[in-house]
A and B are shown apart, each in its own frame.
Chain A
Amino acid sequence: MSALPRPSTIFLAAITTLVAVLLYSPLFVPIVSSFFIISHGNVDWSSPTLSTYVALAGNHDILAALRTTLIVGVCTVVLSVISGTLLALYYHGRRSGRSILQFIVFLPFLMPPIISGLALLIFFREIGLERSLLTVVIGHTVFVLAIVYRTVLMRLQSMSRTLVEASYDLGASGWQTFWRIILPNLSSAMVGGAILAFALSFDETMITILVTGTQSTLPVRLWAMMRLGFSPDINALVALILMFTVLLCVLAARFLIPKQMATERN
């Protein structure tokens, strides 16, 4: 740090601040403005209010979309955590086939969502699956699987192999070893992965638009609302989504930092 001469340190600090402000301040605009009335493009700063939130709560379309989002999120989490964990367990320690599998698992995550969405859409049409919440859940699971798989696999790899050997050595069966040694050591990684999966599913728009039937999730609803014009409850909705997503990410980070560090602190 202090290896740099003083003027350039100041310069760097100024640039960093500028970039941070430019990049992140737009995120705070909807949060702040969701508490004020906007009329004819002018914000009335004099009277903070919760009226946008009240309006939002009375909007049945949005409440229905929220319910749909939660259902899809929960189903996606359950499916992706179970299959991601099984995949990680199966491929841990196995050389052959692992890189191919990883490639396939990561593909939908890395590809532009519109491509993944279209591919899924064509696939569902080919096998004759009606577009519905089921197809949305499948789409989301395919999308977030990579995150869960990766999180669980990393925990497995950091787990000492001798733990499992010690369990067998002490007389435990394979089943006992799984439930009493492996799973407890993976659980926080699974919870962390689940939260990330939920956050991703909560925000997912492009794939959802392509594979959903008549029901829309919150981001899709938002998208539709935007096309009709800017209304104050959008501010409130964006603010809520933003805060919720940040909360999820903070939670996920708590579960994913190594246990060791957590215990060393106290």
Chain B
Amino acid sequence: MSQNTDLLTLRSVSKSYGTVPVLHDIDLSIRDGEFLTVLGPSGSGKTTVLRLIGGLEPLSSGEIQLDGQDISRMPINRRPFNTVFQDYALFPHMTVSGNVGYGLSVRHLKRKEIARRVGEALELVQLGRFAERFPAQLSGGQRQRVALARALICQPRLILLDEPLAALDLELRRQMQEFLKSIQREIKTTFLFVTHDQEEAIGMADRICVMQAGHIRQLGTPHELYYKPNCEFVARFFGENNLVAGRLGPVQDGQRPIETALGRLVCSISDQPHLKAAPDGANAFAAFRPEALRLADANDGDNRFSGSIAELAFAGSSTVATIMAGADDAAQRLRLRMPSRIDGSALKSGETVSLCFAPHEGHLVLA
């Protein structure tokens, strides 16, 4: 696996349907062998990105490069990519093996060779017994796996999957997530996987590309997205978060204070040069995760403020408190998450408590 070379590159790709712009100047590099997930709310343009790469739609402007060569005008049936469609798109008049072998038989391979490779592909997706069934005689999960085998058999450089698990129920979905991931590790092919389910994205992806309104907002590992979101949208969209608005103060070695309604909060800015470069007084948010917020004790000096507990919710392994913090006229609604204990929570509803979070567990987001 050579995860550091780029397989596919989108260079300022735009797309409009008629006069309606749908994608704006997208730049994206997909690395060879990675599992890249495209995540975003409905209508953000995820499917469109996939269809442009697959060749199902023409670009309005920009360029798509494969191994450095422009393939923007390469017809769909020549591109070494295969798609797993959301509705599976299995051919209803062909058996499972007919479906899986289709990509080989249109290339006029020998019958024997096709039969052998269909057998292998069906073994890989554990459907050997179903070779002679028709798609109408399979369950949703089985159809899904046929669609995957049909795409894999052509040995594509890149597999495009458009919300392939959306139609499955929760349990089956979990199984298929693991299954897809294990297959990807086994065959070492690059996967581009579209979803609007962030848990799915976090669980499966090597890297995640967050899209909103036709723009790529951030591209990074799940850890980077979670702890170093680069904009308000990602900070709010990706996982639960507390955001408090304020104005930036002067940089102090790897940290930067922000003046907020909760007072002066100090947050880490390591490895985020754009936060270091932002002018003093710029509008920004202090962001800290519910699990970073905790009850303050006597030793805690930084990022300390008081709040009253408005609500306490038991959620199994953890307990979530909703807290109103700061002065009454500018009260901030915050969430605090702590591990649950068998003898009940240390917090009481209605109580006023002193809270804090460590500077290295907070980050800044420009407004």
A63 within 8 A of B: no
Is B91's CB under 8 angstroms from A181's CB?
Answer: yes
B116 within 8 A of A: no
Known: A166-B83, A168-B77. A160 touches B89 (CB 8 A): yes
Tell me the smallest distance from the CB of A100 to a CB of chain B, in Å. Answer: 23
Q: B51 — nearest CB in chain A belongs to which residue?
A: A165
Contacts of A260 in B (CB 8 A): 136
Is A171's CB under 8 angstroms from B106's CB?
Answer: yes
* 14 A–B contacts from the bound complex (CB under 8 Å): A162-B89, A165-B83, A165-B85, A166-B85, A166-B89, A167-B102, A169-B56, A170-B102, A170-B151, A171-B78, A181-B91, A263-B134, A263-B136, A263-B137
Is A170's CB under 8 angstroms from B137's CB?
Answer: no
Q: B80 — nearest CB in chain A belongs to which residue?
A: A171
Q: B134 — nearest CB in chain A belongs to which residue?
A: A263
Complex Cα spacing A162 to B50, Å? 14
A185 within 8 A of B: yes
Q: A162 — nearest CB in chain B belongs to which residue?
A: B89
Is B106's CB under 8 angstroms from A170's CB?
Answer: yes
Which of A173, A184, A185, A263 has a CB less than 8 Å from the CB of B106?
Answer: A173
Q: Which B residues have a C-beta under 8 Å from some C-beta of A? A: 54, 56, 76-78, 81-83, 85, 87, 89, 91-93, 102-103, 106-107, 134, 136-137, 150-151, 154
Complex Cα spacing A184 to B202, Å? 42
A107 within 8 A of B: no
Contacts of A171 in B (CB 8 A): 77-78, 103, 106-107, 154
Which of A168, A170, A173, A185 has a CB less than 8 Å from the CB of B154?
Answer: A170
Which of B77, B87, B106 has a CB less than 8 Å from the CB of A162?
Answer: B87
Known: A160-B87, A171-B106. A184 touches B93 (CB 8 A): yes
Complex Cα spacing A223 to B89, Å? 53
Is A170's CB under 8 angstroms from B85's CB?
Answer: no
Q: Which of A168, A169, A259, A264 has the most CB of B within 10 A?
A: A169
A122-163 CB contact bits vs B (8 Å, 1 = yes)?
A: 000000000000000000000000000000000000001011
Contacts of B85 in A (CB 8 A): 162, 165-166
Contacts of B77 in A (CB 8 A): 168-173
Complex Cα spacing A266 to B77, Å? 36
Which of A163, A168, A259, A264 has a CB less than 8 Å from the CB of B76?
Answer: A168
Complex Cα spacing A258 to B68, Å? 48
Tell me the smallest distance from the CB of A227 to a CB of chain B, in Å. Answer: 51
A176 within 8 A of B: yes
Contacts of A160 in B (CB 8 A): 87, 89
Q: A185 — nearest CB in chain B belongs to which residue?
A: B93
Contacts of B107 in A (CB 8 A): 171
Is A163's CB under 8 angstroms from B154's CB?
Answer: no
Known: A160-B87, A259-B92. A170 touches B136 (CB 8 A): no
Known: A169-B56, A169-B76, A169-B82. A264 touches B136 (CB 8 A): yes
